[in-house]
Amino acid sequence: MKKARILIVDDSSVMRKIVERSLRQAGLDIEAVKEAGNGEEALKLVQEDQFNLILSDINMPAMDGLEFVRRLQALRCTKSTPVVMITTETGEKHVVDALSLGARGYIRKPFTPDQIKERVVPLLEE
Amino acid sequence: MKTSSIENRFKTVGILLGAQATGPAGAEAKKDTMSIMSRQEWIAFLNTATKEVFEIMMGAQLECREAGRSVMSRDFTAMIGLAGTLRGVLSLRCSSNVAYSLARLMLAEDTPASEDSVRDAFGELCNMVAGNFKAKIAGMADGCMLSVPTVITGKDLVIYSLSNGESIQLEFLLEGKPLELTLSLHS
Q: Could you tell me the pLDDT band of residue B73, with boundaries at 50, 70 and 90? A: confident
- The predicted pLDDT at position A1 comes to 65
Indicate whether B17 pLDDT > 90. Answer: no
Candidate from A56-60, B136-140, B168-172, B178-182 with smallest mean pLDDT: B136-140
Q: Who wins on pLDDT, B30 or A122? A: A122
CA–chain centroid gap for B91, Å, is 6
Q: Who wins on pLDDT, A33 or B23? A: A33
Quote the DSSP letter at residue B16. Answer: B
Indicate whether A83 pLDDT > 60. Answer: yes
pLDDT by residue (tens digit) across A32-45?
Answer: 999 999 999 999 99
- The predicted pLDDT at position A71 comes to 95
Q: Who wins on pLDDT, B183 or A3? A: B183
For B105, other C-beta atoms within 10 Å of its C-beta total 18
A88, B23: Cβ pair inside 8 Å? no
Any A CB within 8 A of B115 CB = no
Helix (H, G, I), strand (E, B) or coil at B182: strand
- The predicted pLDDT at position A84 comes to 96
> How many helices and strands in chain A, by DSSP H and E?
5, 5
Indicate whether A12 pLDDT > 70. Answer: yes
Indicate whether B185 pLDDT > 70. Answer: yes
Please report which helix (H) or strand (E) contains residue B77, including its range: strand B76-84
- The predicted pLDDT at position A110 comes to 94
Tell me: cis bond preceding B112? Omega within 30 of 0 counts: no
pLDDT by residue (tens digit) across B86-112?
Answer: 889 999 999 999 999 999 999 988 777
Q: Could you tell me the pLDDT band of residue B74, with boundaries at 50, 70 and 90? A: confident
Q: Where are the alpha helices (DSSP H) in chain B?
A: 2-13, 23-32, 39-58, 96-107, 115-135, 140-143
Set of chain A residues whose Cβ sits within 8 Å of the Cβ of B121: 12, 14
Any B CB within 8 A of A60 CB = yes
Any A CB within 8 A of B152 CB = no
